[in-house]
């Protein structure tokens, strides 16, 4: 079976294939039911598969669907890891935990955000304290998320964004848009006003399943940034962090770090590794996001903005709505065999290096 054969066409198929593959491999399954439903009324859930000793001190964790529609990628890798028998490569003292569709609403509805329009990877902040400011986003909010969506509006807002980039540089524009914002609940990259269901569920999963683990490796699968099919290993931490030192030891120089200015990603706020560390204060956590490119960045951002408009002002069942849904799917999931093979091969390499790092 080729790597491309492991990928699914929608959330329901992805969930079904993951569960069957995990069971056939002998993994133990736990499901966390989501309170919502999918577009066809289907049940939504985050499913967790565990293979190996329950009291394993070393655990490899893979995570799919942090950004909903990006879940096709990680789900395909997780299903293939079980289906192909590769999950048996771990040694007797190491367990493998696959967290499938941590944001099942976004996966099923082809949205990057959760059911409350929250970017899960901006949601792990201290909501009891002062929330981060993002004056750049405040300045661009109206242009990023206009009330109308047509060619004239797109062209006009593109001029506004280009003017901002001219004044603040391309990196300044990217930071203003993507770093995260906490004042525009209907906007993009909104970090929320409280922990989301997916935030709480991720912490619950880590506390319950990993409480006895001493060393935990995490690979969180993402799409939408960088060259098409390239898997960038991103470590979102401080330059002097022990986490970064371990990532360098495990992956050599084949990684990037936003804080060092080497990544396609900016230094975001409220990313999920913060929640993982809070859930496992006694464990040594070595985490990377594996980010695969799809379309050029401007097209990806345009798809996000179109989807935001659609769910605020449009009709997903209209011809325009269906075209936007096809647009956002293409921006985060390249339904092409060559792209899937690139995803698969890079994933195998990364997961094997993580297993070697855990055993070392």
| Confidence check: pLDDT of 1 > 90 | no
Task: Indicate where the chain has its CATH 3.40.630.10 domain(s).
Answer: 3-128+189-294+335-359
| Confidence check: pLDDT of 91 > 90 | no
Contact between residue 270 and residue 191 where contact means Cβ atoms under 8 Å apart: yes
- Give residue 265's pLDDT band: very low, low, confident or very high (50, 70, 90): confident
pLDDT score recorded for residue 92: 87
CB pairs under 8 A, 24+ apart, for 84-91? 84/1, 84/6, 85/25, 86/348, 86/351, 87/25, 87/27, 87/51, 88/25, 89/352, 89/355, 90/51, 90/52, 90/60, 90/355, 91/355, 91/359
C-alpha pair distances (Å), 54 with each of 18, 201, 211, 219: 20, 20, 10, 20
- Give residue 360's pLDDT band: very low, low, confident or very high (50, 70, 90): confident
pLDDT score recorded for residue 99: 98
Domain 3-128+189-294+335-359 matching CATH 3.40.50.720: the answer reads: no
pLDDT score recorded for residue 48: 98
Percent of the chain with pLDDT over 70: 100
pLDDT score recorded for residue 86: 86
pLDDT score recorded for residue 87: 83
pLDDT score recorded for residue 182: 97
How many CB atoms within 10 Å of residue 315? 10
Q: Partners of 50 in the beta sheet?
A: 28, 97
Per residue, what are the HEC states of 311-358? HHHCCCCCHHHHHHHHHHHHHHCCCCHHHHHHHHHHHHHHHHHHHHHH
CA distance 138 to 187: 10
- The packing angle between helices 151-178 and 135-144, to 10°, is 160
- Give residue 127's pLDDT band: very low, low, confident or very high (50, 70, 90): very high
pLDDT score recorded for residue 351: 97
pLDDT score recorded for residue 30: 98
CA distance 271 to 346: 23
- Give residue 266's pLDDT band: very low, low, confident or very high (50, 70, 90): confident
pLDDT score recorded for residue 258: 92
pLDDT score recorded for residue 172: 94
| Confidence check: pLDDT of 70 > 90 | yes
Q: Please compute the mean of the pLDDT values over residues 324-348 and round it to a whole number.
A: 97
Q: Please compute the mean of the pLDDT values over residues 334-350 and round it to a whole number.
A: 97
Q: Please compute the mean of the pLDDT values over residues 50-63 and round it to a whole number.
A: 96
CA distance 67 to 360: 32
Instruction: Calculate the average pLDDT of the chain.
Output: 96
What is the helix (H) or strand (E) element at residue 32, kind and residue range?
A: strand 28-37
């Amino acid at each position: 079976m080729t790597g491309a054969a492991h990928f699914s066409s929608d959330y329901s198929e992805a969930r079904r294939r993951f569960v069957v593959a995990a069971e056939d491999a002998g993994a133990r399954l736990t499901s966390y039911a989501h309170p919502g439903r999918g577009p066809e009324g289907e049940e939504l859930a985050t499913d967790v598969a565990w293979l190996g000793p329950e009291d394993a001190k070393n655990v490899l964790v893979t995570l799919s669907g942090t950004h909903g529609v990006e879940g096709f990628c990680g789900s395909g890798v997780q299903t293939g890891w079980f289906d192909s028998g590769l999950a048996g490569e771990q040694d007797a003292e190491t367990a493998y935990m696959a967290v499938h569709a941590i944001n099942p609403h976004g996966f099923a509805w082809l949205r990057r955000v959760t059911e409350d329009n929250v970017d899960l990877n901006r949601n792990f902040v201290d909501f009891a304290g002062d929330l981060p400011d993002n004056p750049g986003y405040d300045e661009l909010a109206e242009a990023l998320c206009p009330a109308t969506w047509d060619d004239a509006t797109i062209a006009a807002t593109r001029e506004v964004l280009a003017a901002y980039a001219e004044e603040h540089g391309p990196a300044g524009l990217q930071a203003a848009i993507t770093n995260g914002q906490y004042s525009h609940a209907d906007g993009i990259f909104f970090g929320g006003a409280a922990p989301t269901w997916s935030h709480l569920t991720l912490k619950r999963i880590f506390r319950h399943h990993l409480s006895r683990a001493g060393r935990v490796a995490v690979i969180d699968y993402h799409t939408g940034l960088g060259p098409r099919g390239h898997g960038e290993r991103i470590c979102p931490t401080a330059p002097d962090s022990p986490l970064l030192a371990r990532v360098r030891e495990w992956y050599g120089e084949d990684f990037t770090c936003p804080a060092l200015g080497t990544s396609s990603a900016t230094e975001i706020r409220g990313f999920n590794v913060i929640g993982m560390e809070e859930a496992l204060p006694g464990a040594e956590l070595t985490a990377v996001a594996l980010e695969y490119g799809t379309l050029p960045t401007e097209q990806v951002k345009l798809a996000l903005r179109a989807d935001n408009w659609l769910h605020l002002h449009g009709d997903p069942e209209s011809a325009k709505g269906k075209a936007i849904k096809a647009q956002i799917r293409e921006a985060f999931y390249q339904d092409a065999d060559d792209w899937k093979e690139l995803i698969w091969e890079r994933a195998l390499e990364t997961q094997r290096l993580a297993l070697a790092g855990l055993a070392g």
